């Protein structure tokens, strides 16, 4: 068996094209272009790459892009004051503060300061709470993108056993909630999980989000399973790789996402979709 590849890049391009068309229609109708403010604090190399890609893609779909690059010495008070200004600015429909933040800044306080209607990361407690209650508005981008890719397979997700490896607020927890809404049976694993390989081998859907290169071994994959690799890591040689041993897992899985070209492009596409959705919510 050799797994079929879930092409996240191609699916993201289609979604991005749909957003571009909707933005153009919105502007043609006399409404403002959705505006996304991306705030970068410090000079984390990976964050700089992510932010540059987000800003470029935002411009490419006809949205207004607002860039705020703050020094690593920025205080929490200064960052919160900027968020307050962005919350009050009608030209800004989405606010994204790139993580991680310098140690002097409380990331939770920053997330909670963003207006929930402008929380295009979907991480504000109000948006996470709505996801828990099965009434989502703005959904966390990466898990929402993973669900699009799962549906891209054409497989019926109802009743499948989904195993999520990782319990972060950004991916693992909201991913489990998204899978529950799709009526999967969900198991969430973490660093204290006993006999993780055995649990992984029971998964019809295996989602890896731990941030460790090739952490999930091929033998952990149930034959025919759908494998969603959220991880983006660099090897000592500088090569990008995921949390799954791709070559080994591909020989057992039914479907698998590559790294790069899988979940990553979908995350940015979902950010654009969330920004458009945020603009529509603020019009209402």
Using CA atoms of 15, 16, 21, 25 in order, give the dihedral in degrees to the nearest 10.
100
Residue 121 designated active-site:
yes
pLDDT in tens, 14-23: 999 999 999 9
Instruction: Please check the confidence at residue 284 and state whether its pLDDT lies above 80.
Output: no
Instruction: Specify the pTM.
Output: 0.95
Quick one: residue 179, left, alpha or beta (phi over 0 = left, psi -120 to 50 = alpha)? alpha
Quick one: angle between helices 45-60 and 8-28, nearest 10? 50
Residue 9 annotated to the active site: no
Give yes or no for a contact between 245 and 218, defined as CB atoms under 8 angstroms apart: yes
Q: Which helix (H) or strand (E) holds 187?
A: strand 185-189
Note whether 148 and 266 are within 8 A (CB). yes
**pLDDT confidence bin for 52, thresholds 50/70/90:** confident
CA distances from 68 to 43, 79, 82, 149 (A): 12, 10, 9, 31
Q: What does the angle CA 183 – CA 184 – CA 187 come to, to the nearest 5 degrees?
A: 135
Of 115, 119, 121, 229, which residue is the catalytic one? 121
pLDDT in tens, 114-134: 999 999 999 999 999 999 999
54 tagged catalytic: yes
121 against 47, higher pLDDT: 121
């Amino acid at each position: 068996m050799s797994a079929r590849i879930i092409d996240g890049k191609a699916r993201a391009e289609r979604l991005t094209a749909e957003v571009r068309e909707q933005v153009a229609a919105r502007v043609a109708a006399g409404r403002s272009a959705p505006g996304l403010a991306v705030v970068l604090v410090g000079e984390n190399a990976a964050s700089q790459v992510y932010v540059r890609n987000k800003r470029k893609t935002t411009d490419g779909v006809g949205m207004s892009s607002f860039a705020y690059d703050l020094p690593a010495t920025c205080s929490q008070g200064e960052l919160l004051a900027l968020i307050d200004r962005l919350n009050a600015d009608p030209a800004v429909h989405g606010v994204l503060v790139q993580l991680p933040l310098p140690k002097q800044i409380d990331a939770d306080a920053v997330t909670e300061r963003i207006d929930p209607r402008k929380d295009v990361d979907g991480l504000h407690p109000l948006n996470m709470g709505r996801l828990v209650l099965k009434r989502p508005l703005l959904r966390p981008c990466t898990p929402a993108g993973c669900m699009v890719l799962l549906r891209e397979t054409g497989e019926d997700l109802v009743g499948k056993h989904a195993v999520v490896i990782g319990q972060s607020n950004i991916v693992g927890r909201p991913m489990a909630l998204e899978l529950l809404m799709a009526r999967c049976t969900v198991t969430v694993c973490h660093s204290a999980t006993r006999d993780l390989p055995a649990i992984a081998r029971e998964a019809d859907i295996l989602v890896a989000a731990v941030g460790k290169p090739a952490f999930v071994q091929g033998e952990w994959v149930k034959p025919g399973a759908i494998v969603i690799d959220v991880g983006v890591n660099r090897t000592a040689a500088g090569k990008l790789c995921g949390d799954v041993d791709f070559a080994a897992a591909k020989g057992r899985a039914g479907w698998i996402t590559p790294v790069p070209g899988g979940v990553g492009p979908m995350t940015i596409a979902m950010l654009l979709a969330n920004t458009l959705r945020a603009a529509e919510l603020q019009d209402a």
